[in-house]
Structure 1
């Protein structure tokens, strides 16, 4: 397995974050966006993670310093009663999948969520995304719900959404 470094995302990482995300958008297997996002839209998404000490956005670099993945902990809901519940998200560039990048990134995000005192992590995954579902099971997430036929994408592609959670 290659050596990877996980670090906080900076403005210099925005192009790589945008490229990795847009790859996922066009693959139609892990994002409900139907059009690629602009650099400005991805910057707004990164900037929305405040305070960053509770809601980090991180990138994964390979040994050559190339950003190969990114992930985040996001506020689950704006209502205060949900404080302590975070949405975990991650995207791995296609050339780097099945090499342990996602596992290392999710492990880091969960450790950070615990470190800062969050009480639960939640995530939404296309139910037919076998790799992400297996990764959630690996970390002990429980699938607690399914929304059938929730996502309609161009080309007649449809996905059910699986809801997963993990008490921290």
Structure 2
């Protein structure tokens, strides 16, 4: 997992895989506010962009998730989104596994989950296996608009 914002991520670019740097640069080149919700190709195969409009929910109404094949870069464009975060736990078994269909599995609440709130311009990177709980309300339920870049693990040499 990696947390940063669009105004300062380049100061730490040396610690990021080249594919992540290319994805962040692709985000900077686009007018994300002008894009309708949907899926958009990015600059190379195995990398695409989702523009999403969601309504955050109470923590109890959300589930931790992880991906097997994709890294997520989740960038908040408007609103405030709380994310649950936990280290990978091989002993934690999914309650719903859909890796073959959607590259996602949902998990019970991990023992060592903590939360971070992201505001517009801030992003989190979740690598394959990283447990994360998106779309949590930071207070009352509220609309959030975000960009999610999906990078296939082969772009990261995984």
Give yes or no for TM over 0.5.
Answer: no
Bigger RCO (CA 8 Å, 6+ sep): 2
Which TM-score tier does this pair reach, normalised by the shorter chain? under 0.3
When the two structures are superposed, what TM-score results if normalisation uses the length of structure 1? 0.25
